[in-house]
Structure 1
Amino acid sequence: MTTDLHTETISAAIRDRRTLSFVYDGKRRTADPYILGYDGKGVLVLSAVQLTGGSGSGFRTFRVDKLWEVKATDRHFAGRHPDYNPHDAYIERVLAKV
């Protein structure tokens, strides 16, 4: 299943602090992944700092089932974004986090 492959790719990128590249809502984006987990409705989501594409930069929440062409890039990030909240209440069950 594609979502399982995405989960593995995203989890590895979080662990290795590697920027992700993916298509979401028809737009190519790059983002630094911080948290992968389930929201209160049981939807698998990615909390990440969007770098390019979409509606500008900053923290965004992406539904994993709407991600396409998910790949880890060669770019590494520090994992210390000033807006990062490792205890984000929106994500009820964490699978991986910085």
Structure 2
Amino acid sequence: MNSIIKLAIENKQVLELRYNEKVRLVEPHCYGTDKNGEEKLRCYQQGNRGLVYDKGAWKILSVSEIRNLTATGNNFRGPRPDYNPDDPQISRIYARL
């Protein structure tokens, strides 16, 4: 279990991470495992460095593929209006807003 992700959800902190060779800024909303036991992170992507086409998009990330994970120290307000706390893709929840 990733304590950085759990703390970021608890404290509503923006995370910076590398995923699929892109640096992303995300608001973590739900963290747990899928039906196969793989750790997943449901997050709202604020944007990526230099690429605006992914800005403002919901993502589900495989935690095993996340690199360079850090909490930015910047907070977000809370759950996005279209957030579903009962995410069907995350069957066991470790932390959620």
| Alpha-carbon separation, structure 2, partners of 1:80 and 1:67 | 22
Q: Give the structure with the larger helix fraction.
A: 1
The residue that corresponds to 1:94 in the other structure is 93
Structure 1 residue 48 corresponds to structure 2 residue 47 = no
Q: How does 1:1-80 map to 2 (within 5 A)?
A: 4=1, 7-53=2-48, 56=54, 57-80=56-79
Give 1:80 deviation, angstroms.
Answer: 2.5
Contact 2:29 2:79 in 1 (8 A): no
For 2:63, the aligned partner's letter is V
User: Which runs of 4 or more aligned residues in structure 1 lie more than 6 Å from their structure 2 counterparts after TM superposition?
Assistant: none
Instruction: State the number of aligned residues.
Output: 93
**Seq. identity, %:** 29
Task: Point out where structure 2 has 5 or more consecutive residues left out of the alignment.
Answer: none
Structure 1: segments with no counterpart, 5+ residues = none
- What is the RMSD of the two structures over their aligned residues, measured on CA atoms? 1.3
